[in-house]
Amino acid sequence: MEFINEFDDLKKRQLELKKIYQANPEKAFLTLKAEGILGENVSCKIASGKPHKTAGLHPYTGGDGSLACSSDMLLESLVACAGVTLNSIAFHFGVTLKNTKIIAEGDLDFRGTLGVDRTAPVGFTKIRLRFEIDSEVSPDMQKKMIDLTERYCVVYQTLINRPEISLV
């Protein structure tokens, strides 16, 4: 019985959100953000604010916000990979990076996710990756390290090169 009540509650929340998004499409747009700070031993600490990594619905799709959204996790994965890659490159060049932050932002239109508008995209329409480097190296060296991070970051390269994916 408890499962049925939870399902009914979710249906009600999603129906209400669909009505809101139909009447005011701009309310379905959201920019998600993930941040990481470079750490010791070629690491990157993700500042997610969630103590566990159980995925669930985002509040814009009817979730209560207590679980991690897989879209947030995608951005966090990008930040983590770019952070570890940048940290590794800095280590290779003998560069010390302190208080260096990696930020990813992604724009979503939840009308697509909830099937409110079939022309609305499902998934991120734009993702921006930003580096806030705190180091005494020259701007040219910072650019070189970012360029190498772009080249060798597995998650970044996977996203921009759109691998063939199949459901089996």
pLDDT at residue 41 in the model: 87
Q: Would residue 168 count as lying in a domain?
A: no
Q: Would residue 84 count as lying in a domain?
A: yes
Q: Show pLDDT as tens, one digit a residue, over the chain (168 residues).
A: 555 567 788 899 999 999 999 999 999 999 999 999 998 889 999 886 555 578 888 999 988 888 888 899 999 999 999 999 999 999 999 998 888 999 999 999 999 999 999 999 999 999 999 999 988 899 999 999 999 999 999 999 999 999 999 999
Largest CA distance in the chain: 64
Among residues 128, 75, 123, 134, the alpha carbon closest in space to that of 100 is found at 134
Q: Would residue 46 count as lying in a domain?
A: yes
CATH number at residue 66: 3.30.300.20
User: Tokens at residue 70, please?
Assistant: 């897989």
CB neighbour list of residue 101: distance below 8 Å, 6 or more residues apart? 35, 36, 37, 38, 131, 132
Q: Would residue 93 count as lying in a domain?
A: yes
pLDDT at residue 3 in the model: 55
Dihedral pair phi/psi, residue 80, rounded to 5°: -60, -45
Q: Would residue 166 count as lying in a domain?
A: no
Interstrand relation of 101-109 and 68-69 (parallel, antiparallel or unpaired): unpaired
Domain count, the chain: 1
pLDDT at residue 31 in the model: 96
Cβ atoms 129, 146 nearer than 8 A: no
